[in-house]
Structure 1
Amino acid sequence: EVIRALRKAGAFTNSSCGIHIHLDGQPHTPRSIRNFVNIIYARNDLFYKALGIEASRARYCKRMDEHLVATMNRKKPTTFAKIESIWYEGYRGNRDAHYHDSRYHFLNLHSFFHGHKTVELRGFNSTLHAGEVRSYIVLALALNTQALSQSSASTKKPQAENEKFAMRTYLNRIGFIGDEFKACREHLTKRLSGSAAWRRRVAA
């Protein structure tokens, strides 16, 4: 209703804007933050296509850095201080700066370490379509829950020959089941190729 009210009042967006979703960082532990990094890394390509991230915005929500992910999984840091050190590795400048270069990733932990202790997801295009905005919020909450609840998370990327099937099965896994989430599933798979019902079609 909020989005519809904004649209009715004359609000507008353009392709240079993005929607950033901040999640409460208080419940997170070093383990769950590592999980979040791995979850996003494993599905970066799939999420970029599913969300239709505009090329003009890609530099503001970059994919997870492979070196960072590899270092995180090799060292398996057990404290926030150690994760912070890995996150800022290779960057210059004051970490307290609001517009620190490290923030411009799909998953932003700069806001967690030197902001309002939130985990930020930046990979959403601007829109005033209420259904799309809801799908973004529900996805962000589901990803957060997955990171918090799992004992570990793999960096293995899903199969790529049938994107729609890969996304649908992943969404089911993180709770997008039933009519309540039907519209969300449709919004999050409509840009992907393949079949949501079958991974491979077998010739008769």
Structure 2
Amino acid sequence: MDRKETVKILGEHFGVKPEYMGVPSFAYQIKSPQGIITVDKEGEIKNSEGIEVELEELLNDFQEESVKAETEHSEIIFSIAGHTGITLRNLINMISSKQTLIKKALGIETDIVTKEFVEGINNIRISSIEDFKTAVLDIGEEKCPGINFNFEKETLEFKFIKDFENAEIAVQFVEALNESSKKFKHSSPKERQTDNEKYTFRTWLLRLGFIGERYKQARKELLKNLGGNSAFRGKINE
């Protein structure tokens, strides 16, 4: 991996624009919650204490810290910060479009979002979080049993995955859902039939960012309950 790609990954991971320092260092600096990260002209990465670190190690450190905080007491909760009414609807639609596969992958039977809830939020104009809140209250919070929207505390609780046996993978999954919903301009709630569950779900996971060695175990765990073959698109005769 070259320096340019390393800088880009760090900037995207921490949601900031890397700053080029120019001469004489020719280094890039990236602001993180734990201080300034520096990528020198040779591509070496140093943390805020000036200690050289590997990219994967640095990303994993923050991931592990996030996991520890968010899975306390078996609750998986995220802030609504960064969302709009549109992106919250995206989140619901993304889940709706893969609900059958998500339920099978996680071994759950109850719907995460009901058909009535999905239709309700897609049949009215929603722009702001206040619009979304009004829609949720009008439709009924009980129609979305897998997610709790706490508008007073401005949080989202992903109840549908709290009993998943691997807490770290659970957080990785809902974190990817949450972040992806903020990036998409639009997401369709329509669920398409598939002859190859593994391939369809794996492709979707990759779109959510489950790429590389870091997510290898997560992909394996999330695909193990599904039928088909993750390597081939066509129908698999089992």
**Which TM-score applies when normalising by structure 1?**
0.72
- CA shift at 1:84, angstroms? 1.7
Q: Distance in 1 between matches of 2:192 and 2:211?
A: 20
Task: Tell me which amino acid in the other structure corresponds to 1:81.
Answer: E
C-alpha change, 1:90 and 1:124, in structure 2 (3 Å) is closer
Q: How does 1:12-161 map to 2 (within 5 A)?
A: 19-53=74-108, 55=109, 58=110, 62-89=111-138, 91=140, 102=142, 105-109=145-149, 111=150, 113-114=151-152, 116-124=153-161, 126=163, 132-161=166-195
Q: In structure 2, list runs of 5 or more residues that go unmatched.
A: 1-63, 66-72
- CA shift at 1:82, angstroms? 2.5
Q: Does structure 2 retain, via aligned residues, the 8 Å contact 1:37–1:107?
A: no
C-alpha change, 1:148 and 1:163, in structure 2 (3 Å) is same
- CA shift at 1:184, angstroms? 0.4
C-alpha change, 1:182 and 1:74, in structure 2 (3 Å) is same
- CA shift at 1:89, angstroms? 2.2
Task: Tell me which amino acid in the other structure corresponds to 2:95.
Answer: I
- The total of aligned residue pairs comes to 167
**Aligned position for 2:214:** 180
Q: Give the structure with higher Rg (CA).
A: 2
Task: Tell me which amino acid in the other structure corresponds to 2:98.
Answer: R
1:127-184 per-residue CA deviation (whole Å, 9 max, x = no partner) reads 5x5xx22111111111011111111111121433211111100011111111111000
- CA shift at 1:192, angstroms? 0.7
- CA shift at 1:125, angstroms? 5.3
Question: Within the alignment, does 1:166 sit opposite 2:215 as a pair?
Answer: no
Q: In structure 1, list runs of 5 or more residues that go unmatched.
A: 3-17, 92-100
C-alpha change, 1:202 and 1:65, in structure 2 (3 Å) is closer
